[in-house]
Amino acid sequence: MPDKVLVLNCGSSSIKYQLYLMPEGAVLAKGLVEKIGEACAAYKHTDDGGEQAGKQPIADHREGLAVAVKCLTGSKKPAIKAMNEIKAVGHRVVHGGEKFTGSVLVTPEVEKTIEEYYDLAPLHNPPNMTGIRAAQQMLPGVPQIACFDTSFHTTLPEVAYVYALPYEIYEKYRVRRYGFHGTSHRYVARRAAELLGKHKYDFNAVTCHLGNGCSMAAVAAGRSVDTTMGLTPLEGLVMGTRSGDIDPAIIFYLAGKPEYKSVKDIDTMMNKKSGLLGVSGVSNDMRAVRQAAAEGNKRAGLALDIFCYRIRKYIGAYAAVLPRLDAVIFTGGIGENAAPVRAKIIEGLGANLGITLDAAKNDAAVFGKEGDVAAADSRVHVMVVPTNEEKAIAVDTYALSRNKSVSQRM
């Protein structure tokens, strides 16, 4: 019997939601409530009845969820007529640490563990937990499922996740590589394998999730064996406002300089003022950076070059640790839509890795289109796969709410 499953992604001041009919995976409605806690809070909702939008004070996430439910039930063609039609709620939770290797039914013990990881994801886990509690109050008795960004990466071997620090730091504080964007990496790896007619566990790929936040994963036999983000999302690739990999001694060098009087100042600089924005001086938006570069802005051109160079390096590094490389997969706002950026990344990989693009196919694969954009003589497939984290969460939520075992490791 079909069930209606609500998927929630709660940020510090926002709620993104989608309502699915499962197991078909059809999206019945979707929306966004933002600027929660402000007088100018706003909402936008879309379903078969059209679009609803408005502004009103929304004090907290519980009120925000009430607005979402009102939209779900109050359109011209409501996706649900009553709240009891929602049979399960799936929640995106950023950090599951080493505890959660897959999606789980939320219990008091699960809530406690999510809270224990607040210090590892202070900007994400607290609002994720707030969303869970708001949904519990709004929909008492309805199964709540937590789906973790980190869980796909719990298959990383020790050689990939242990930092070369005194080992007791790992033992005492669990400082290690965790990785993020796992739900996206898992979805696009599975989807690419399906498109290529391969079994998901007989598939090796480098997945590139490129948006304002960027990460890559090495996927061997369908499982994550390495990833660019580390203890936090700061490590790895150049991103919209994050620096990615740097010499850690830079932090000590800058400490005490006039502009950086505290560790917090340096943390803010590296997370919010670096990356494309910091190098270009133009924007954290790749579209604006590319436009400025095309108009002759040298710093914008440099930011674009560094962005692509770092990804190209990681493709080579991850190819070296995989048993073979079947595909390079692009997803995320930049990965799905910026064909010239994909071309610039792949440029030069033909000689060593045999990876070449078909220019026409690459240019056509934008705005939701998926497929293989590799040239006919390329030794490796180059896939463009629009990510769908919400659908992946809906699938797990439906299965767990029906008492079926789900492990993102499998």
The answer on pLDDT for 404 being more than 90 is no
- Give the tokens for residue 21: 């009919």
The answer on pLDDT for 405 being more than 60 is no
Write out pLDDT tens, residues 163-175.
Answer: 999 999 999 999 9
CA distance linking residue 196 with residue 385, whole number of Å: 12
Q: By the 8 A CB rule, do 284 and 277 touch?
A: yes
SS (H, E, C) 47-110: ECCEEEEEECCCCCHHHHHHHHHHHHHHCCCCCCCCHHHEEEEEEEECCCCCCCCCCEECCHHH
Write out pLDDT tens, residues 320-379.
Answer: 999 999 999 999 999 999 999 999 999 999 999 999 999 999 999 999 999 999 999 999
CA distance linking residue 271 with residue 256, whole number of Å: 18
Confidence band (pLDDT; 50, 70, 90) for 408? Answer: very low
Q: What is the DSSP letter of 163?
A: -
- The half-sphere exposure of 380 on its side-chain side, counting CA atoms within 13 A, is 25
Per-residue pLDDT, 73: 93
**φ, ψ at 271 (rounded to 5°):** -90, -30
What is residue 162's three-state secondary structure?
coil
**Conformational region of residue 120, where left means phi above 0, alpha means psi within -120 to 50, and beta covers everything else:** alpha
Per-residue pLDDT, 153: 98
Confidence band (pLDDT; 50, 70, 90) for 409? Answer: very low
Confidence band (pLDDT; 50, 70, 90) for 79? Answer: very high
CA distance linking residue 60 with residue 70, whole number of Å: 15
Domains in the chain, please, with CATH?
3-148 (3.30.420.40), 198-389 (3.30.420.40)
Q: How far is CA 66 from the centre of its chain?
A: 26
Mean pLDDT value of segment 135-152: 95
Is residue 2 reached through a cis peptide bond, with omega within 30 degrees of 0 on the bond before it? Answer: no
H or E stretch covering 217:
strand 214-220
Global confidence as pTM: 0.93
Q: What is the DSSP letter of 155?
A: G
Q: Which residues are catalytic?
A: 149
Tell me the H-state helices in 199-331. 249-254, 263-272, 275-280, 286-294, 298-321
Strand partners, 27: 20
Per-residue pLDDT, 1: 64
